[in-house]
Structure 1
Amino acid sequence: MRSHQPVSITPSTPRHVSGTHAAVHAPRVSLGSCIRAYITRSTLDVALLPEHGRLNHFPPAPLCTIAWYLHGEAELIQIGEKAVTQALPTPIVFNGPRTEPVVSYNPGQVEVFMLALQPEALHLLTGLNMAEYTNRSSAFAQVFDAEWQSMAQAVLKAPDHGSRIALIEAFIEPRWFAARPHKSPFADWMRDSFESMAVRMLASRWVRSGRQLERQMKVWSGLSYQRLWGLRRAEFRFIAAREMLRGSDSSWSDVAASTGYADQAHFCRETRKITGLSPTELKRRVMEEESYWVYRIWS
């Protein structure tokens, strides 16, 4: 744990640094309803970044992630509006769904490989109650069984990202085919796993009421129905907004209208509620500041 003063999360000047690397990698099609994406990040090819450049702003998301710290360490310094000091249990960290923005900090250079999983799929694969891990970061070995730990160690030792992805998919694919509800007419889970999860629960013989539905949604995803839907809707619309504003003269009112919000004020309120920033300030930081790298690459 570092002993110097806490890092301010509001830099006074833009700090988007050339030479850092961040990317999103798609899973094979057969795992699309289980694995959302792989995310890679490295600052090894540049000199040690200033403290503001070593921050990482993560939006709230209804996803679970497994993060392998191949080099370096991290700690949480802010959850929502609350300042914290929590060292992450590297080198392999399990993060449950997040309902608030999170800011982490890297004391030095870092290289990290992340697996983003649909929470309902991870529940089927492992039996984990997602509600117990919502807004939590845990040591991987304290959550997963010996088979998963063996896979995770192999990924940690793999020579490159391609090998890591191959190891993960060789491990998960047969387990996913065995765990997913093949007998359901919605076996493909459609392209939107949220809709398919709701259909699957509503069709279940043991879900007979709205209260049961809400309770089971918490177990499978870690979030309430309303919260899960709100986060996924916001994600889809932020992506659409980003694409519209790239190299265009579109206004926020145009973005709000085209992405289904009642008006610009509604769009701005929801953006601030989820990210803590206005759309204009969020756009500026994403475009200019190194610490918003996740927002830049996510799609």
Structure 2
Amino acid sequence: MSSFMVIGESLLDEVQRGNVRTTHPGGAPLNVAAGLARLERDVTLVTRIGGDDDGETIINFLADSGVRLYPGSIDSHPTSIAHAQLDVHGNASYTFDLRSDFPQPPAGGPALKPRLVHIGSVGAHLEPGASTLRSWLRYLGQFSTISYDPNVRLGVMGPAAKLRNEIDELMPAIDVVKASVDDMRALGGPTEPGESARYFLERGAQLVVITMGAEGLVLATPEAEVHVPSVNMPVVDTVGAGDALMAALIDGLSRMSVLGGEDGEALRDISRQGLASLGSYAATAAGITVARPGSHSPTREELSLSMELYSGGV
């Protein structure tokens, strides 16, 4: 039985940095799944990968990372591609050639009962995959904590008004939300971090994390709110930083024993000190990732060492 499940797109990132073009597996859900595996978590990815050379690259990456690929995730269509253009500061802008379609949950009662199911990005908002994803939520929602990262890309996901309506429909099933101030700006929602957090709390979330890049992050429950500074690292590029943060956030919550079934109800009761510790852990993962090119989230050993350095323990 997998402790964690991630549902969403896998693709090949083509990254243009000046005159240099590189390719590597990507997609926010794939990055989160790989990040959890690098943190030594047992994780299954429900996705769609083409049966072509690009798909083979992704399949090999997942196998090397220790991510279990859910049966039926490979089909005959071309593998999805994301074209990323990096500016002089290492910030990425994207265009996509993408197909969203995932295997359906099996008939009958769930054989898999993961402690947490992570969703978001294009896979949660582009059909036909979005409808299949909702079938998974109905299938597993009573057993699993559900986390969500909108990772807004209006060019492929649709207009802001459409996304806001879909978020309203999703939120009764969502326990944990991670969103950036850029996501909120694109959605036309409140961009002040505390107000952004309340936007999701009012819709039923028990824990909300709003990321602000170099300005850090805000973590909020219905009972408490804290601000955590970012980790001061030299920025090579920002590719995958939010996904590394998301993976560390999930890992941290698991270590706090607040995921899955009845334990999930404890999310709202995390103390201010607990939120601050969780935020520092997640921010450190993002800091490690921005300090090196591409989406390479930290291992548990790297993250533990950096936490000691960050807190002054070494």
Question: With CA pairs under 8 Å and 6+ residues apart, which has the higher RCO, 1 or 2?
Answer: 1
TM-score (normalizing by structure 2): 0.28
| Structure number with bigger Rg | 1
TM-score (normalizing by structure 1): 0.28
